[in-house]
Chains A and B, each alone.
Chain A
């Protein structure tokens, strides 16, 4: 019997027994290959056996288990770099004799025979081979740190969930959104995450049927190697024990159990609350705190990603939408230009997405109108009372849609600088009698007379001052109930529980009673209080308190608007590529004038730094152009940093100030089946393909700058390296995935600079919709290509982008327009005037429309995106007033400006309408010509950005 065969037999017996035990103890939880039960020395022998068999070509489909264990061991050490590169480097002659497909087949066999874990989720579909060994590695070492941190951050909810690994897994997965992509991928398998987490928290000494003791001990031991991770795990365990002990004393919170689930409890929209502020007796201004969307995004990674990269409008706020991702920063307060309509959608993506918009419409709202009540804190501020309940002898502001408030001397109009509502100040009388109560009811307010219910002791997480209170799980909810009347007894009704009755305390303690609410589930509750006054015929006094119990919120590492230091980024969590290519706007917010330390570090993996640079002398706030300029000078253009870029898996941006704290953002390289890297050696620049796909059927194409529409197929090289002295774009494709990169021309001396002077030739197209769509798709491909830091890549790439845009203009606008465009591109500035004069197909259009366009073009420089769109929209309405344009006039104007300045963006932006929009542009070319004239006029009038933009002055978000 060979060693391989003996190992296979032994492992087969072990896994068979493990499967049977697990079936009995856990009802069929899966088995992992890492649970092989081998000692370190035996693992060494197994590796040697696999190496030997590979070298001798004797890897057998019959004795396959050693290879499964071997591949899982490699997966356990996987850090996000190429799995196969490591595997092949460690396995002699695998490239020549091994087959990646065999690895997948054998894992599938393992799943079938031993109830082995099956990878799931989108990640598993994209990485269809390496998902197996990585899943069977249970918790690869670099993810252990992140899990320990997550367990530490969620330690307060752990005790109740340890008995339900699947619920625990789902909860943890929700909180993992926005962490590293790999950890998010791991977290997609809730079952596995829950099992591992529960086992880790329960500890290696407490036996768990979920994982083999030896595997668990190994993970805990490896996790404990790093001090901080060990500390986090220990603290998560201690906190769990501590919370359990406290829970035994009567404070217990249930999550996802019992007759009402979390989903039931949380059903209902997140309410954005209003507040009013004024200065020195000026009219009140209205503000709205954007709701914390974390509970929504935790439930949907897709929603998080969409919001992270989209601009969002807030109802009632004019001007440009919030920058991409900014909606995800909790605590943000916006000034209202007008009062939002409660029936309209509060938050809306700038580019509509029916699914996301539907979620936002259902889940985010303002409180219902038509009146809104505010309790005045002082002369300058008032906060919304969600319950719309008033007490005697207090000062409120009432905002109402209707002017006609009932007459009463304690109600007087006050100015408010927010169209859409009228405001009244209410100074409620010391005693609210029947008349006053009637007035208040007319105003749709509830009167809480003779009773007060208020949180007591420790300040709750939220309290509107009247009837709405919010506690965090783990709190001891304590209330005071008081009355101005002499009370005999009290009854309380909490949700659907039986009524609870108690005698009211006797004097001298009879002015109030204290109530503790124990064991409230996460979610919303209603407490109704009935006080029976002394006296036979007294009517019971009623009061209501709305109670919300929620989980503690984890603060993002970048900060929130509730903290004095924030790294604000658009998109919310940029990738390394977006950061590197200047597609992320990063600013650092904080008190003006305070110094802030900023350090940027390229990391090979977490904690393994490649190169680090600090930005000295910065003071808050650091606006995004300043950050970009610092990043450009000290990181992107620094050769010693640039050279490390290809090896970097992430970039850590850390900002700190001793008074304000430490915030960081880690921009990770996106995990992709194929990835291009750009590097340079003694032969010049080259691109290198990193392959994680496991696919054998990929294709490589090379596009020269001078022939951007014609790709040339390349032979796949074993080194993954590709070169071209004149540079160009390389595209790698596998089924359902493609990626592109720009290789700069080799520039070693002054003579080589000629290579930057590219003259892209694009074949003349027929004037057809397909021709334009083809050019747009070509532009999209070139625009999607990633950049190295060097300007030698950007200059020729931008030439290509301009050539494609001009080709689109020629195709739509015809030969006369094309001639003038060519003159302009050759540097003939007079051609711009000629373009302006040629606007219009007849004399009437030329005199009317052309004049209008020329007049507006000069004003566009200072205009924002919306104003530019608005200007073109007016022109289109003149040109084609009765034309049924796709998406309407405004949409068409927006599309045409994108098409005329960044055709790559027009395709994706137009959603399902590109064909009909292009059709309309061809049919009424003057619309496009006007847009193109705007683009070129602005380009000519804008300062030179050093070749960063294809057309100056045009940067679409």
Chain B
């Protein structure tokens, strides 16, 4: 046994080394390292709520990288990993705590990009590596995305299958909803809400205010007020686990009817349906959500900026084409070849009825 005292930098370097990211994460606070730390924590702690996962990781990392914005960064990364497919959120198994939502690790899988590059998904339990030891050094890390490039003369996909990864067809991974008009997209929800029984008072209800600026997502959330009348995307707390997404009808700020989301669980989570529903509400109210495209230093590369959280199918599509980047003012941004960026902007405009421009 050996006890060793370390300074902070050495301790952080030891952790970084243990993550096996090679030289691709510059420090423990980098998005790549944060994503890896979360995946590893999830491999032991799941099932767990997103909040508790964030708290656990924050508790361990704070002494090494400080607390400045760490919790927000962790919560955002957990959401991104869930959207991407490394984690999956679903009700807890077992009778004892039924109806609680929790995160589980997603099964090991890969998706083929058109370029031939393979996107790696999922987490193995107990901190075990996702792929065989010979492939570990070939993984490239870019924020939350892990990719691996096939070398000449190797059947990398088959090797991954041998390692127990599922070859996930891109369309099954993306699972896009059908293109529809905002009204058509809303119809299943409005019909269900109209048919829902009268609801009582809902403690802790938070609504997404459609009258607020669509480019500041966080600022759109508030508690209902007595002047609120109409139908809103909302979140309500539940006994155990994370809040439940819902669609609620208010009269004078009081909930009259309410349906929980998702209504089609095989197509996505509650938040995926809620964000698309809100996009439809915004489009119909004449304040469509925004998407913009800027140029990176290189004119051949564009940056697609989103100002609201993308539903899972949109994030996955961007993940499969581009690289997540930080872009001032945007909630989420992806760098990609300019032609692709233009196509993605058009796709998002069609699917979420967005308008181009940051303001």
B163 part of interface (Cβ distance < 8 Å): yes
B5 part of interface (Cβ distance < 8 Å): yes
B205 part of interface (Cβ distance < 8 Å): no
* Nearest-neighbor residue (CB-CB) of A497 within chain B: B1
**Complex CA distance for A520 and B97, rounded to whole angstroms:** 36
Q: Chain A residues near B59 (CB, 8 Å)?
A: 454
Stretch in contact with the other chain, from B120-128, B145-153, B250-258, B323-331: B120-128
B275 part of interface (Cβ distance < 8 Å): no
**Complex CA distance for A540 and B68, rounded to whole angstroms:** 33
**Complex CA distance for A658 and B283, rounded to whole angstroms:** 32
Contact B93 A566 (CB under 8 A): yes
Which of B8, B44, B88, B239 has a CB less than 8 Å from the CB of A279? B239
**Complex CA distance for A478 and B17, rounded to whole angstroms:** 13
A784 part of interface (Cβ distance < 8 Å): no
A332 part of interface (Cβ distance < 8 Å): yes
**Complex CA distance for A494 and B2, rounded to whole angstroms:** 10
Which of B14, B28, B47, B88 has a CB less than 8 Å from the CB of A516? B14
A410 part of interface (Cβ distance < 8 Å): no
Contact A478 B14 (CB under 8 A): yes
Contact B37 A458 (CB under 8 A): yes
Query: In whole Å, how far is B359's beta carbon from the nearest beta carbon of chain A?
Result: 37
Q: Chain A residues near B18 (CB, 8 Å)?
A: 457-458, 475-476
- Decide yes or no: A461 and B44 within 8 Å by CB, A287-B96, A287-B97, A516-B6 being known contacts: yes
Q: Chain A residues near B239 (CB, 8 Å)?
A: 277-280, 282, 380
Contact B240 A509 (CB under 8 A): no
Stretch in contact with the other chain, from B104-112, B221-229, B288-296: B104-112
- Decide yes or no: A459 and B90 within 8 Å by CB, A287-B96, A514-B7, A555-B125 being known contacts: no
Contact A659 B88 (CB under 8 A): yes
Of residues 547 through 577 on chain A, the ones whose CB sits less than 8 Å from some CB of chain B are: 552-553, 555, 561-564, 566
Q: Chain A residues near B128 (CB, 8 Å)?
A: 156, 552
- Decide yes or no: A279 and B1 within 8 Å by CB, A238-B134, A514-B63, A564-B93 being known contacts: no
* Nearest-neighbor residue (CB-CB) of B42 within chain A: A459
**Complex CA distance for A589 and B93, rounded to whole angstroms:** 7
**Complex CA distance for A564 and B95, rounded to whole angstroms:** 14
Q: Chain B residues near A480 (CB, 8 Å)?
A: 63
- Decide yes or no: A335 and B96 within 8 Å by CB, A458-B19, A459-B41 being known contacts: yes
**Complex CA distance for A593 and B270, rounded to whole angstroms:** 14
Query: In whole Å, how far is B172's beta carbon from the nearest beta carbon of chain A?
Result: 5
Q: Chain B residues near A460 (CB, 8 Å)?
A: 44, 60
Of residues 173 through 201 on chain B, the ones whose CB sits less than 8 Å from some CB of chain A are: 173
Contact B106 A457 (CB under 8 A): no
Of residues 230 through 244 on chain B, the ones whose CB sits less than 8 Å from some CB of chain A are: 237-240
Contact A518 B94 (CB under 8 A): no
Contact A591 B158 (CB under 8 A): no
Q: Chain B residues near A380 (CB, 8 Å)?
A: 239-240
Contact B96 A457 (CB under 8 A): no
A334 part of interface (Cβ distance < 8 Å): yes
Of residues 1 through 43 on chain B, the ones whose CB sits less than 8 Å from some CB of chain A are: 1-8, 10-12, 14-15, 17-19, 28, 37, 40-41
Which of B7, B45, B52, B106 has a CB less than 8 Å from the CB of A661? B106
**Complex CA distance for A279 and B238, rounded to whole angstroms:** 7
Contact B94 A472 (CB under 8 A): no
**Complex CA distance for A278 and B100, rounded to whole angstroms:** 11
CB 8 Å contact bits of B129-153 with A (1 = contact, 0 = none): 0001110000000000000000000
- Decide yes or no: A518 and B4 within 8 Å by CB, A231-B163, A461-B44, A476-B18 being known contacts: yes
Of residues 468 through 503 on chain A, the ones whose CB sits less than 8 Å from some CB of chain B are: 472, 474-476, 478, 480, 482, 492, 494-495, 497, 500, 502
A592 part of interface (Cβ distance < 8 Å): yes
**Complex CA distance for A521 and B17, rounded to whole angstroms:** 22
Contact B45 A494 (CB under 8 A): no
A955 part of interface (Cβ distance < 8 Å): no
What band does the interface of chain B fall in when counting residues whose beta carbon is under 8 Å from A? 35 or more
Of residues 76 through 94 on chain B, the ones whose CB sits less than 8 Å from some CB of chain A are: 85, 88, 90-91, 93-94
B166 part of interface (Cβ distance < 8 Å): yes
- Decide yes or no: A457 and B134 within 8 Å by CB, A517-B3, A555-B125 being known contacts: no
Query: In whole Å, how far is B266's beta carbon from the nearest beta carbon of chain A?
Result: 6
**Complex CA distance for A280 and B243, rounded to whole angstroms:** 13
Query: In whole Å, how far is A417's beta carbon from the nearest beta carbon of chain B?
Result: 13
Query: In whole Å, how far is B144's beta carbon from the nearest beta carbon of chain A?
Result: 17
Query: In whole Å, how far is A478's beta carbon from the nearest beta carbon of chain B?
Result: 6
Q: Chain B residues near A234 (CB, 8 Å)?
A: 132, 134
Q: Chain B residues near A552 (CB, 8 Å)?
A: 126-128
CB 8 Å contact bits of B45-69 with A (1 = contact, 0 = none): 1110001100111011101100000
B348 part of interface (Cβ distance < 8 Å): no
Query: In whole Å, how far is B76's beta carbon from the nearest beta carbon of chain A?
Result: 18
Contact A456 B127 (CB under 8 A): no
Q: Chain B residues near A593 (CB, 8 Å)?
A: 265-266
Contact B88 A564 (CB under 8 A): yes
Q: Chain B residues near A335 (CB, 8 Å)?
A: 95-97
Contact B266 A595 (CB under 8 A): yes
Q: Chain A residues near B72 (CB, 8 Å)?
A: none
Query: In whole Å, how far is B108's beta carbon from the nearest beta carbon of chain A?
Result: 8
* Nearest-neighbor residue (CB-CB) of B203 within chain A: A280
**Complex CA distance for A276 and B299, rounded to whole angstroms:** 57
**Complex CA distance for A521 and B2, rounded to whole angstroms:** 11
A723 part of interface (Cβ distance < 8 Å): no
Contact A227 B109 (CB under 8 A): no
Q: Chain A residues near B237 (CB, 8 Å)?
A: 280
Contact B15 A518 (CB under 8 A): no
Which of A378, A509, A553 has a CB less than 8 Å from the CB of B126? A553
A519 part of interface (Cβ distance < 8 Å): yes
Q: Chain A residues near B127 (CB, 8 Å)?
A: 461, 472, 474-475, 552
Q: Chain B residues near A624 (CB, 8 Å)?
A: none
Contact B1 A333 (CB under 8 A): no
CB 8 Å contact bits of A213-242 with B (1 = contact, 0 = none): 000000000000001100110110011011
Interface centre among B8, B45, B96, B106 (most CB of A within 10 A): B96
Contact B15 A478 (CB under 8 A): yes
Which of B4, B46, B107, B265 has a CB less than 8 Å from the CB of A515? B4
Contact A377 B8 (CB under 8 A): no
* Nearest-neighbor residue (CB-CB) of A589 within chain B: B93
* Nearest-neighbor residue (CB-CB) of A481 within chain B: B5
B168 part of interface (Cβ distance < 8 Å): yes
CB 8 Å contact bits of A312-349 with B (1 = contact, 0 = none): 00000000000000000001111100000000000000
Contact B109 A231 (CB under 8 A): no
Query: In whole Å, how far is B48's beta carbon from the nearest beta carbon of chain A?
Result: 10
- Decide yes or no: A562 and B15 within 8 Å by CB, A456-B60, A517-B1 being known contacts: no
* Nearest-neighbor residue (CB-CB) of A658 within chain B: B172
Q: Chain B residues near A566 (CB, 8 Å)?
A: 93
Which of A516, A520, A563, A594 has a CB less than 8 Å from the CB of B265? A594
Excluding A461-B126, A589-B93, A591-B91, 8 further A-B contacts by CB distance (< 8 Å) are: A280-B239, A333-B94, A478-B11, A514-B5, A516-B14, A553-B125, A562-B47, A592-B91
Instruction: List 21 interface pairs A-B (beta carbons < 8 Å), by A numbering.
Output: A231-B163, A234-B134, A277-B240, A280-B203, A380-B239, A454-B60, A458-B41, A459-B37, A459-B41, A475-B127, A480-B63, A492-B3, A514-B5, A516-B6, A517-B2, A562-B47, A564-B90, A564-B93, A591-B265, A595-B266, A661-B166
A residues neighboring B (CB under 8 Å): 156, 227-228, 231-232, 234-235, 238-239, 241-242, 250, 277-280, 282, 287, 331-335, 377-378, 380-381, 454-463, 472, 474-476, 478, 480, 482, 492, 494-495, 497, 500, 502, 505, 509, 512-521, 552-553, 555, 561-564, 566, 589-595, 656, 658-662
